[in-house]
Amino acid sequence: MELQSSYPPLFRGLRDSAPAADLDEGSWMTKPIHEPDPIPVIDLQRLDVEPERLGEACREWGIFRVVNHGVPLDLLTGVRSHAGRLFSLPFESKQALLAAPLSYFWGTPILTPSGSALQGGAQSVNWVEGLNVPLGQLSLLGDGGDDDDDEVTVLASLRNVLQEYGVHLGRIAKLLFRAMAEDLRLDPTLSKSYLSESTGFVRLYRYPHCSKAGGNMSGMEAHSDSSVLSILCQDEVGGLELYKDEQWIQVQPVPDALIVNVGDMLQAMSDDEYISVKHRVKVRKPQDRTSVCYFVFPGQDSVIRSLKYRPFTYSDFQAQVQQDVKTLGFKVGLRRFKID
Ligand SMILES: O=C(O)CCC(=O)C(=O)O
Ligand SMILES: [Fe+2]
């Protein structure tokens, strides 16, 4: 009898045979991993001492590594191993277990506001499965069953670890955003509503391995994030790449460091001074990759005011992205709101 597979059927046959053709633009221009790579490093405990480093990283790169962030190492590894355990459940169990307010998706990272995969959202298959967890609704997870129920236990322990993780990531987002708002001289009465750290969400990802050495699949196609900030915790496998100066640069996994990137909302708030960096994930290794990404957004109804864009809320932005993806097949993004 065939062993129950944890992989979505879409990935099963292909995973061990031919790598999918890679149609991304510029993949042949990827720079080899630098030792160490050139991504700027921000020491969270020195934000006050050298504030200019943060502004420079956001203007030049739109992405940086954070060290001395105060998240215990065993919490970082704990969150990733929870993700690994969840994804290794049989596919059918994940479909049954990971229901609202969670959403389980695969083949595309583009979801509707209610959490289901947006049809036609991806240009081609994205070699990834994910779990979307709205932090504001964590308390709904894992209640209502008896203690012997395995599924309830899995969800309850996910809730506990993400609650602790969410508090740390909210703290880091607030610290970074306060320093950025100062660097940008944002009006403090406006900037207060520009970050709603408790209503962000966390996404857990597994990128199934590609057992052919030298494989080159698209784990997540090139995109910019719609968030204010995104904060990534990844395992040691690697695969994240960013686009800078017309080249793709591989981001080297560094144990214990977090990767932060500027999202579209922050680029608008900064009048385009900060860059919402274009990035993607490549699957090149014969190992599954696990990553956990925290996304933080502006407060609901908070109007973003910018010299470069007409006033808009995050909901306006999200609705426009959904419409573009449905009708055009891709996200147009900030350009839709630009003042000509
Ligand atoms: O898994 C990663 O390294 C990146 C994920 C990502 O870019 C995203 O979720 O927007
Ligand atoms: Fe992203």
Range of the domain at 149: 3-307
Q: What are the Cα distances from residue 116, in Å, to 20, 110, 260?
A: 25, 9, 26
Residue 263 Cβ < 6 Å to ligand 1? no
**pLDDT of the residue at 150:** 72
Residue 162 domain-assigned (yes or no): yes
Amino acid 189: pLDDT: 85
Q: Of 279, 280, 262, 278, which Cα lies nearest the Cα of 270?
A: 262
pLDDT of residue 68: 97
* pLDDT per position as a tens digit, 267-300: 999 999 999 999 999 998 888 999 999 999 999 8
Tell me, yes or no, whether 227 lies in a domain.
Answer: yes
The pLDDT value given to residue 72: 97
Per residue in 170-188, pLDDT (tens digit) is: 999 999 999 999 999 999 8
Given a cut of 70, is residue 196 above it in pLDDT? yes
For residue 312, tell me if it sits in a domain.
Answer: no
pLDDT of residue 55: 98
Counting ligand 1 atoms within 8 A of each CB, the residue from 230, 237, 283 with the most, and so the one to mutate, is 230
Ligand 1 centroid to Cα of residue 149, in Å, is: 32
Residue in 65, 205, 278 to alter for ligand 1 test, most ligand atoms within 8 A of Cβ = 205
| Most ligand 1 atoms within 8 A of CB, residue of 236, 279, 280, 297 to mutate | 279
Q: Is 279 in the pocket of ligand 1 (CB under 6 A)?
A: yes
Minimum mean pLDDT range among 55-64, 214-223, 241-250, 267-276: 214-223
User: Ligand 1 atom 3: the closest Cα is on which residue?
Assistant: 240
Q: Is the CB of 261 under 6 A from ligand 1?
A: no
Q: Is 109 in the pocket of ligand 1 (CB under 6 A)?
A: yes
For 196-207, what is the HEC assignment?
A: EEEEEEEEEEEE
Q: Is residue 338 part of a domain?
A: no
Q: 27-32 contacts: CB < 8 A, separation 24 or more?
A: 27/216, 27/248, 27/282, 29/246, 29/247, 29/248, 30/241, 30/247, 30/248, 30/249, 30/250, 30/282, 31/247, 31/248, 31/249, 31/250, 32/250
pLDDT at residue 15 in the model: 56
Q: Which among 7, 18, 4, 28 has a CA at the least distance from the CA of 282?
A: 28
Banded pLDDT at 24 (limits 50, 70, 90) = very low
What's the pLDDT score for residue 16?
53
Give me the pLDDT at residue 26, please: 43
pLDDT greater than 70 at residue 120: no
The per-residue pLDDT for 334 is: 98
Inside any domain, residue 324 = no
- What's the pLDDT at 115? 80
How large is the average pLDDT for residues 49-78?
96
Q: Is residue 328 part of a domain?
A: no
Q: What is the pLDDT of residue 11?
A: 85
Ligand nearest to the CA of 241: 1
Mean pLDDT of the chain: 88
**Domain assignment present for 284:** yes
Identify the pLDDT of residue 79.
97
Q: Which atom of ligand 1 has the smallest separation from the CA of 280?
A: 7
Residue 27 clears pLDDT 50, i.e. is over it: no
Q: Which atom of ligand 1 is nearest to the CA of 293?
A: 9
- Does some domain include residue 322? no
Q: Tell me the mean pLDDT in the region 218-232.
A: 96
* C-alpha dihedral, 157 to 300 to 188 to 68, nearest 10°: 20
51 pLDDT more than 90: no
* pLDDT tens, position by position, 232-274: 999 999 999 999 999 999 999 998 999 999 999 999 999 999 9
- Candidates 133, 130, 86; CA nearest to 108 is 130
| Cβ of 280 less than 6 Å from ligand 1 | no
Question: Is 69 near ligand 1, meaning CB less than 6 Å away?
Answer: no
What pLDDT was estimated at residue 104? 95
* Tokens, residue 15: 């995973």
Residue 198 tokens read as 């408790």
List, for residues 159-170, the tens digit of each pLDDT value. Answer: 999 999 999 999
Specify the higher pLDDT residue, 338 or 142.
338
Q: How far is the CA of 200 from the centre of ligand 1 (A)?
A: 15
Is the pTM higher than 0.95? no
Closest C-alpha among 220, 191, 195 to residue 207: 220
Predicted confidence at residue 217, as pLDDT, reads 86
> 75 or 29: whose pLDDT is higher?
75
Best residue for ligand 1 mutational test, from 87, 258, 293 (most atoms within 8 Å of Cβ): 293
Q: What's the whole-number mean pLDDT along residues 324-338? A: 94
Res. 14 pLDDT band, cuts 50 70 90: low
Which alpha helices (DSSP H) does 192-287 contain, by range?
Answer: 264-269
The total domain count for the chain is 1
The residue ranking higher by pLDDT, 22 or 254, is: 254
Phi-psi domain of 308 (left: phi exceeds 0; alpha: psi -120 through 50; beta: other): alpha
| CATH code of 91's domain | 2.60.120.330
129 Cα to the center of ligand 1, angstroms: 11
Q: For residue 325, how far is its CA from the centre of ligand 2 (angstroms)?
A: 16
Q: What is the mean pLDDT of residues 141-146?
A: 65
Q: What is the pLDDT of residue 35?
A: 61
